[in-house]
Amino acid sequence: MTVKEIFESMDYGLAPEAAGDALAWIVDQGARFGHFINGEFTDHTDGFDSKNPATGEVLATLSQATQAEVDAAVKAARTAQPKWAKSGGHARARVLYAIARLLQKHSRLFAVLETLDNGKPIRESRDIDVPLAQRHFYYHAGMAQLMDAELPDREALGVCGQIIPWNFPLLMLAWKIAPALAMGNTVVLKPAEYTSLTALLFADICRQAGVPKGVINIVTGDGAVGEMIVNADVDKVAFTGSTAVGRRIREATAGTGKSLTLELGGKSPYIVFDDADLDSAVEGLVDAIWFNQGQVCCAGSRLLVHEPVADAFYAKLRARMDKLRIGDPLDKSIDVGAVVDPVQLDTITDMVRSNSAGEVYQTQTALPATGCYYPPTLITGLHTADPLMQEEIFGPVLVSTTFRTPSEAVELANNTRYGLAATLWTENVNLALDVAPKLAAGVVWVNATNLFDAAAGFGGVRESGFGREGGWEGLLAYTRSKGNAKTLKPIAAYTGDDTPSDPLDRTAKLYIGGKQARPDGGYSRNVYGKNGALLGQSSLANRKDVRNAVEAAAAAKGWAKTTGHLRAQILYYIAENLAARGDEFAHRLNALQGGRSGDKEVEATIQRLFTYAAWADKYDGAAKGVPLRGVALAMNEPTGIIAGLCPDDAPLLGLVSLMAPAIAMGNRVVLAASQPFPLAATDFYQIVETSDVPAGVVNILTGNHADMATHMAKHLNVDAVWSFSGTDLSATIERDAAGNLKRTWVNHGKMRDWMGSEGEGKAFLQAATEVKTIWVPYGE
Amino acid sequence: MQTTTTSTTTTATTSAQLPQVTEPRNPGTKLDLDWVARVQANTSAIERRCATLPGRRSIKKDHQAAWLLKAVSCIDLTTLSGDDTERRVHRLCAKARQPVQAAMLEAFGMPGLTTGAVCVYHEMIPAAVTALQGSGIPVAAVSTGFPAGLSPFHLRIQEIRESVAAGAEEIDIVISRRHVLEGNWQALYDEMAEMREACGEAHVKAILATGELGSLRNVARASLVCMMAGADFIKTSTGKESVNATLPVTLVMIRAIRDYYEHTGFRVGYKPAGGISKAKDALIYLSLIKEELGDRWLQPDLFRFGASSLLGDIERQLEHHLTGAYSAGYRHAMG
* pLDDT tens digits, A585-612: 999 999 999 999 999 999 999 999 999 9
* pLDDT bucket at B2, cuts 50 / 70 / 90: very low
- Give the per-residue pLDDT at A502: 74
The verdict on residue A575 lying in a domain is yes
* pLDDT bucket at A381, cuts 50 / 70 / 90: very high
Residues A596 and A711 in one domain: yes
Mean predicted confidence (pLDDT) in B141-148: 97
| Phi (first) and psi of residue B233, to 5 degrees | -135, 150
Question: What is the tally of structural domains in chain A?
Answer: 3
CB contact under 8 A, B110 and A4: yes
Distances (CA, A) of A262 to A152, A162, A678: 26, 10, 35
* pLDDT tens digits, A23-78: 999 999 999 999 999 999 999 999 999 999 999 999 999 999 999 999 999 999 99
- Give the per-residue pLDDT at B21: 53
CA distance A290 to chain B (A): 13
Residues A254 and A275 in one domain: no
Chain A, window 314-353: residues with a beta carbon less than 8 angstroms from a chain B beta carbon: 323, 332-333, 335
The verdict on residue A487 lying in a domain is no
Residues A521 and A378 in one domain: no
Residues of B in contact with A282 (CB under 8 A): none
The verdict on residue A365 lying in a domain is yes
Give dist(CA A311, CA A780) in Å, integer.
27
Q: Tell me which residues of chain B have a C-beta less than 8 Å from any C-beta of chain A.
A: 40-49, 52, 55-63, 65-67, 69-70, 108-110, 215-217, 255, 286-287, 290-291, 295, 298
Each domain of chain B, given as residue ranges in start order, spans 24-321
Give dist(CA A321, CA A317) in Å, integer.
6
Residue B269's H or E segment, with its range, is strand B269-271
Please choose, from the candidates A65, A242, A174, the residue with its C-alpha nearest in 3D space to the C-alpha of residue A250: A242
CATH number, position A278: 3.40.309.10
The verdict on residue A1 lying in a domain is no
The verdict on residue A14 lying in a domain is no
Beta bridge partners of A48: A62
- Give the per-residue pLDDT at B14: 41
The verdict on residue A504 lying in a domain is no
- Using CA of residue A627, residue A630, residue A636, residue A639, what is the dihedral sign? negative
* pLDDT tens digits, B67-126: 999 999 999 999 999 999 999 999 999 999 999 999 999 999 999 999 999 999 999 999
Angle value at C-alpha A46, between A44 and A49, nearest 5 degrees: 90
Number of CB pairs, chain A paired with chain B, less than 8 A apart = 103
B34, B38, B44, B52, best to mutate vs chain A, most A CBs in 10 Å: B44
Residues A275 and A234 in one domain: no
The verdict on residue A660 lying in a domain is yes
Domain assignment of residue A316, given as a range: 268-459
CB contact under 8 A, A277 and B47: no
CATH number, position A178: 3.40.605.10
Instruction: Kindly write down the DSSP assignment for every residue of A564-622, as one continuous string.
Output: HHHHHHHHHHHHHHHHHTHHHHHHHHHHHH-SS-HHHHHHHHHHHHHHHHHHTTT---E
CATH homologous superfamily of domain B24-321?
Aldolase class I (3.20.20.70)
CB contact under 8 A, B291 and A276: no
Mean predicted confidence (pLDDT) in B312-327: 97
Residues A294 and A256 in one domain: no
CA distance A460 to chain B (A): 25
In the set A124, A263, A392, A760, the catalytic residue is: A263
User: Is this complex's ipTM strictly greater than 0.90?
Assistant: yes
Helix axes A679-689, A564-580, angle to 10 degrees: 120
Catalogue the E-assigned strands of A52-178.
58-63, 154-156, 159-163
Residues A600 and A576 in one domain: yes
CA distance B320 to chain A (A): 15
- Rounded to two decimals, the pTM is 0.96
